[in-house]
Structure 1
């Protein structure tokens, strides 16, 4: 299971890097093809990773927390973030499709903030799982 999580993290961090490249390229140097590719990949990747986490990773994390008598606050927060992230991914996909088709955006600064907000949140999510969730599960599986 941990190998699958690490692969999912690598895929998400790769996508975050691409989103950062788009944000850095705004407004004048946008790679339209890259925007279209990311727009097509973003939502399915986020949903797929979340589905795996909710069916496999987070139940294991919940069991580990229960065994150690810890609360569910972090687990509930992760689940809530999934809902927010999927909505955000949908909005970004739409914006990236428009940018890829038109080559420009009405408010590049706002899109840049949206992109950075999403990929920075994803990087924090991955870091939390690496620093807290995986060690808890690793201890449980040992």
Structure 2
């Protein structure tokens, strides 16, 4: 789980760098990033939903955990849909499409990576301690 968080946080850093450098971005960075977003999220979400969340629910006391995992699962769906949109934009930029509205693209990228960072923060603060994983990163 720590490894998955680290990979997603590294992705967030790359996306933030792209957003910060718009419209003068490196096309290869955009292409490479576009190619990892969806597979990374799908793989980590599948692991969370099949291993981490059931363990969290079993280890939790009280009624909050099923509601929390339902919310986290819903965020996974939203994140994957948003990831598809971000991927399309990055692929277009990577293939040389002119950036007509750098501010809007930057806003989109920031919305995506900030959502991922919030999700990770919640898991680190609430889910991992309950299942016995200490995350000091």
TM-score (norm 2): 0.92
Runs of 4+ in 1 over 4 A off after TM superposition: none
Q: What is the Cα-based RMSD across aligned positions, in Å?
A: 1.2
Q: Does 1:32 align with 2:24?
A: no
1:16 to 12, 15, 39: 12
Tell me the equivalent position of 2:106: 112
Tell me the equivalent position of 2:91: 97
Residues of 2 paired with 1:30 and 1:103: CA distance? Answer: 12
Specify the SS of the correspondent of 1:104: coil
- Structure richer in helix, relative to its length: 1
Q: Does 1:48 align with 2:24?
A: no
Structure 1 unaligned residues grouped into runs of 5+? none
Residues of 1 paired with 2:46 and 2:16: CA distance? Answer: 25
